[in-house]
Chain A
Amino acid sequence: AQKVTQAQTEISVVEKEDVTLDCVYETRDTTYYLFWYKQPPSGELVFLIRRNSFDEQNEISGRYSWNFQKSTSSFNFTITASQVVDSAVYFCALSFVMDTGRRALTFGSGTRLQVQP
């Protein structure tokens, strides 16, 4: 079965602190994709990153970085020098193949990040 676990329900940090959001997944597929989305208070999900299961290189984009480790089935997300604008709910998602042969996403329950000024 496909499953994504985000054990951290809520994290509160002070501005400029670094913060890591954890994501652990389960899948029986050999080829899959992992995603992170940001949901600000407005509600719309904003795509942040997609990672192919064959590519374990870490990725950095500005203050954001992602660490993908197949050995531990984890895809963690780090925000460096956090800012108030980073306050949002962050979702990790896993793309898997359904019985129809089509791909779908399964989402974790999300981590609410509050960055205090």
Chain B
Amino acid sequence: DGGITQSPKYLFRKEGQNVTLSCEQNLNHDAMYWYRQDPGQGLRLIYYSQIVNDFQKGDIAEGYSVSREKKESFPLTVTSAQKNPTAFYLCASSVGGDTQYFGPGTRLTVL
């Protein structure tokens, strides 16, 4: 089945640690996205990538980093510079800028 997978489902981070969230898709989509969702709020764009080896900052990129070495993979690293990382993180993909399809999400909690 084609789709988007994210791992882990739950992630706990200690203060000062970097953590990496995985996002993989087998839909053959060119574009991939990372969003952050806080309780009771909509989604905010962190980073996006239209092609391999290219990515752009979204609205709230500070404290995050990404890579796009393969078409099917777009990992997100939450660095220690992100002061309030506790949130729900969603990865999405699309054909160009068309309809975005989402993965199941990763819930990150800072201890």
**Residue-wise interface mask of B (24-52) relative to A, using a CB-CB cutoff of 8 A (1 in contact, 0 not):** 00000001000000001111110010100
Contacting B at CB under 8 A, from A85-117, are 91, 95, 100, 102-105, 107-110
Q: Is the CB of A35 within 8 A of B97?
A: no
The SS class assigned to the A binding surface is strand
A95 to B98, CA, bound (A): 9
Q: Is the CB of A43 within 8 A of B40?
A: no
B63 at the interface (CB under 8 A from A): no
Within 8 Å CB of B44, what residues of A?
A: 107
Interface residues on B, range: 20 to 34
Count chain A residues whose beta carbon lies closer than 8 angstroms to a beta carbon of B: 22
Complex interface: stretch among B15-23, B72-80, B101-109: B101-109
Contacting B at CB under 8 A, from A47-90, are 47, 50
A107 to B44, CA, bound (A): 8
Within 8 Å CB of B103, what residues of A?
A: 44
